[in-house]
Amino acid sequence: MRKVWSSPNQTGELMSVRVLILGVGTVGKGVLKTILGKPEFSVCGIASSKGYIYSENGLGQEALKQMAAGKKMSDAADFKQGSAMELVKEKEYDVLIELTTTDIKNAEPAFSYMGEALVRGKHLVTSNKGPLALHFHELDSLAKKNECMMRFEATVGGAIPIFSTIRDYLADEKVGSVKGILNGTTNYILSRMFEERIPYATVLKEAQDRGIAEKDPSYDVEGIDAAAKLAIIGASVFGKKNAYSEVKRTGITHVTPEILELAAQRNYRIKLICSADSKGMEVSPRFVGLSDPLASISGTTNAVTIETGSAGPLTLVGRGAGQNETAAAVIADLVNIEKNTR
């Protein structure tokens, strides 16, 4: 594996791992806040859609703190208008943290950023689902060819360590299937419909008022977000080649309070379940028996059950989204790369 820049400086101390961050939205600010307290990392560049700031020896701590607190990057003295690709392609750094907005139709421009960084031999951490759902194997091949690490824990299940559990803890196990609740918005809506016996449209409005659902909720309620996450699981765990297009997808828009009530009478809950195994991948509302740990997952919480050969089923539960949770997953990946490449 390619080593990060680790030669000692003039005083004999190991140099920090230089990090380039693309995207300074909610997750980006969360990552900045956490990374500031870690001397083993130095942020040498940050880019948004409007421009970037960069310093080969690391950006000033004060400027980064202000940015993490919400100050606009364009107000920084050394802000330059230009494309993030300029940074990715031409500047020096060790790890690219790609946190730009997901595009599930063509995965751009993030896919190009990631590809370019890997071709240059830079390690990659991302929370961006689009490129991995659509092009996992291309990126994975590039990473292997160029001896880089590609980590993507934050793309699925927020703070839940799904991929590191499979990669590290279950390294010697054959994973038979993965199933779970991977979209907090739909789980919130189904939970509220069940608890209050109120129709989908009413709960959706409530979720929008509370900031849990977007104004255009289709990405969540039609299962697109869940399908993208499942595709990443399908590609990385079960080797699916055209993972996203292979996912059978049904959303929750037709689920009624009546079916939730009928199901409850038979000791079932209805959840939007993502399931993947070597045969295929499916996102759809499903009956879950009360003895299944997934049945008790309510609100915006996520959960995943990994079925293994000898270890049996293993269920992980946690917050599936949020600034701190997603940032924690990104930082965990970054630390993992740092430990494995020094």
Partner 1 sequence: MKASLKVILRDTPGQLRKALEVFENVNANVISVMHVHGEKVGDEVPVEIIFGIPDREALQRMEILLRESGWKVLSIGKIVQLSRITVGIIGHIIGTKSFEEMITKVDELGANVCDFSIRMPAKNIESSALLTFESENNECTENAISEIGKLCEKYGLLLIKPVS
| Nearer to partner 1 among residue 263 and residue 314 (C-beta) | 263
Q: Considering the rule CB under 8 A, would residue 274 count as an interface residue with partner 1?
A: no
Residue type, 93: Y
Cβ proximity to partner 1: between 210 and 266 the closer is 266
Phi and psi at 211, nearest 5°, equal 75, 15
Total residues interacting with partner 1, rule: CB under 8 A = 26
Which one of 98-106, 189-197, 230-238, 254-262 is the stretch in contact with partner 1 (CB under 8 A)? 254-262
- Which one is catalytic: 29, 122, 229, 271? 229
Q: Does 283 bind partner 1 (CB under 8 A)?
A: no
Q: How far apart are CA 186 and CA 286, in angstroms?
A: 13
Rounded Cα–Cα distance for residues 78 and 45 (Å): 11
Nearer to partner 1, 218 or 256 (CB): 256
Stretch that binds partner 1, among 56-64, 150-158, 233-241, 281-289 (CB under 8 A): 281-289
Using CB under 8 A as the binding rule, whether residue 270 contacts partner 1 is answered as yes
Q: Does 256 engage in binding with partner 1 (CB under 8 A)? A: yes
Q: Is residue 316 close enough to count as binding partner 1 by CB under 8 A?
A: no
Output the smallest distance, CB 295 to partner 1, in A: 9
Pick from 190, 221, 230, 273 the residue near partner 1 by CB under 8 A.
273
Spell out, one character per residue from 161 to 180, where the chain touches partner 1: x when CB under 8 A holds, - when not: ----------------x-x-
Contacts with partner 1 in 176-235 (CB under 8 A)? 177, 179
3 state SS for the chain: CCCCCCCECCCCCECCEEEEEECCCHHHHHHHHHHCCCCCEEEEEEECCCEEEECCCCCCHHHHHHHHCCCCHHHCCCCEECCHHHHHHHCCCCEEEECCCCCCCCCCCHHHHHHHHHHCCCEEEECCHHHHHHHHHHHHHHHHHCCCCEECHHHCCCCCCHHHHHHHHCCCCCEEEEEEECCHHHHHHHHHHHHHCCCHHHHHHHHHHCCCCCCCCHHHHCCHHHHHHHHHHHHHHHCCCCHHHHCEECCCCCCCHHHHHHHHHCCEEEEEEEEEECCCEEEEEEEEECCCHHHHCCCCEEEEEEEECCCCEEEEEEECCCHHHHHHHHHHHHHHHHHHHC
* CB of 183 vs partner 1, minimal distance in Å: 16
Options 25, 82, 289, 299; binder of partner 1; rule CB under 8 A: 289
**Nearby residues of 145 by Cβ (< 8 Å), 6 or more positions away:** none
Based on the residue annotation, tell me whether 229 is a catalytic residue of this protein.
Answer: yes
Listed ranges 97-105, 149-157, 268-276, 328-336: which one lies at the site for partner 1 (CB under 8 A): 268-276
Residue 298 touching partner 1 (CB under 8 A): no
State how far the Cα of 118 lies from the Cα of 121, in Å rounded to an integer.
5
Shortest Å distance, C-beta 265 to partner 1? 8
Minimum CB separation from partner 1 for residue 204, in Å?
Answer: 16
Smallest separation, CB 289 to partner 1 (Å): 7
Among 268, 281, 301, 333, binds partner 1 (CB under 8 A): 268
Residues engaged in binding partner 1 (CB under 8 A)? 177, 179, 250, 254-256, 258-259, 261-263, 265-266, 268, 270-271, 273, 275, 284-289, 292, 294
User: Which residues have a catalytic role annotated?
Assistant: 229
